[in-house]
Amino acid sequence: MPQVPPMPAVDAAEWTKQASGLEIWDSTVGEGDAVKPGATVTVHYTGWLTNGKMFDSSVARGQTISFSLNQVIKGWQEGIPGMKPGGTRRLKIPAVLGYGATGAGRDIPPNAVLIFEVELISSK
């Protein structure tokens, strides 16, 4: 079974806050062409709540996922562009850029801040 990464420290100095409230931390900068807004990307990712509970992981499933950035939460639409293939970026997504006051399913409560580690495999 693939090794799921540990959750990044929520209060680490490496986070860079964007105007929207999204925070970004590039733990590995990739090489090649940067992702453009609205691109279709293939990634490996793991998501946690700030209490450390993992709620989803393509790494744990052993299968990458591909999607258009136009089809995902705003935190990903803003946080993935600029990444380069082979790069790993951490995203701290405020609820307003995530699932907001409704949450998602039984794993993501209302007004949850989400932490993701995203490895970019490719984009087009």
d(CA 116, CA 97): 13
d(CA 31, CA 112): 32
Q: Which is catalytic among the residues 80, 93, 108, 116?
A: 116
116 part of the active site: yes
Name the β-bridge partners of 42: 66, 122
11 part of the active site: no
107 part of the active site: no
Q: Which is catalytic among the residues 80, 93, 99, 115?
A: 99
67 part of the active site: no
Q: Which is catalytic among the residues 26, 55, 67, 121?
A: 55
56 part of the active site: yes
CA 15-74-103 angle, to 5 degrees, is 95
Q: Are strands 16-17 and 88-93 parallel, antiparallel or unpaired?
A: unpaired
Q: Which is catalytic among the residues 26, 67, 73, 121?
A: 73
Q: Which is catalytic among the residues 56, 80, 108, 115?
A: 56
Q: Which is catalytic among the residues 24, 45, 93, 108?
A: 45
Residues serving a catalytic function are 45, 55-56, 73, 99, 116
